């Protein structure tokens, strides 16, 4: 059976395969969670999304459920990165509470079928703020980070690129969806590019991580 794959799905799969090669057996929560998250991403894109589209002619509710996992896993990753500098329990909890309240509010008012834009937009803004705070902590820390080879730094940078781009996409939603170039609207192209950047940076962070592990062992 031939399955046509979008650019996004291809980079997600490639990133997951690289994750399996480099992170399998890594005991650090950040990398273990990342691998599980990538598995969920791939399952959603390749199996669940397609199955729902065939069965219900609408797979958006799958992506709405996926957003819940996305919020949890990315928040957990950010928690691990921030933990090196501060105790991030409070800010991560506040962020998650804001996200879930928004999510439920949208769900109650609009149902499960339309895409939960409120929660997705709020989530993107919260993640961007976390990333900026992380950068601030990196700059002001006494210990100087070797950023070229720091897996955590590139993991966070990927998150910043993707969610900052998403926020921009959300802000100019009307404009970006109205202009169509080729097969996709500008918004579609933007998300293709953002996903490529996101997974490329994560792939780079995985490589940094395996080098780090080799040096530590």
Partner 1 sequence: MPIFLVFYIKISIKYRKNHVLEKTAMKQKFDAELLKTQLEVQEQTMQSIATELHDNVGQLLSLTTLTLNSIDLNNTEKAGKKIDNSLGLVNNSIKELRELAKLLHGEQIVQNGIGHAIEQELNWLNKAGVHQLIVSNNLIDLNYTSPDKDLIILRLLQEIINNIIKHAKASVIEVEGYFKENTLYLNVKENGVGFDVEETRGRRTGMGLNSIYKRIEMINGKLALNSSPNHGTTILIEIPYP
Residues that bind partner 1 (CB under 8 A): 132, 135, 138-139, 144-145, 147-148, 157, 160-161, 164
- Closer residue to partner 1, CB minimum distance, 120 or 156: 156
For tokens 């769900």, the residue is 107
- Closer residue to partner 1, CB minimum distance, 100 or 172: 172
Residues in Cβ contact with 14 at an 8 Å cutoff, skipping those fewer than 6 apart: 199, 203
CB of 144 to partner 1, least distance (A): 6
CB of 178 to partner 1, least distance (A): 24
> Residue 171: enclosing H or E segment and its boundaries?
helix 151-171
Residue 120, both tokens: 């997705």
CB of 134 to partner 1, least distance (A): 10
CB of 170 to partner 1, least distance (A): 15
**What crossing angle do the helices spanning 60-82 and 89-110 adopt, rounded to 10°?**
170
- Closer residue to partner 1, CB minimum distance, 56 or 136: 136
Residue 29, both tokens: 């929560």
Cα separation, 121 vs 41, in Å, equals 19
- Closer residue to partner 1, CB minimum distance, 64 or 157: 157
């Amino acid at each position: 059976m031939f399955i046509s794959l979008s650019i996004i799905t291809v980079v997600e799969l490639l990133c997951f395969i690289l994750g399996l090669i480099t992170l399998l057996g890594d005991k650090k929560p950040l990398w273990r969670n990342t691998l599980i998250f990538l598995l969920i991403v791939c399952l959603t894109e390749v199996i669940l999304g397609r199955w729902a589209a065939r069965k219900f002619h609408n797979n958006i509710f799958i992506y709405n459920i996926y957003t819940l996992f996305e919020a949890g896993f990315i928040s957990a990753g950010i928690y691990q990165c921030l933990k090196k500098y501060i105790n991030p329990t409070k800010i991560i909890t506040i962020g998650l509470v804001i996200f879930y309240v928004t999510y439920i509010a949208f769900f109650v008012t609009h149902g499960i079928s339309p895409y939960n834009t409120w929660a997705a937009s709020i989530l993107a803004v919260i993640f961007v703020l976390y990333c900026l705070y992380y950068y601030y902590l990196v700059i002001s820390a006494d210990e100087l980070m070797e950023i070229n080879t720091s897996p955590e730094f590139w993991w966070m940078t990927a998150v910043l690129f993707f969610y900052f781009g998403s926020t921009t996409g959300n802000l100019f939603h009307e404009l970006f969806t109205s202009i169509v170039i080729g097969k996709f609207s500008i918004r579609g192209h933007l998300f293709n590019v953002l996903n490529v950047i996101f997974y490329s940076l994560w792939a780079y962070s995985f490589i940094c991580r395996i080098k780090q592990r080799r040096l530590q062992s």
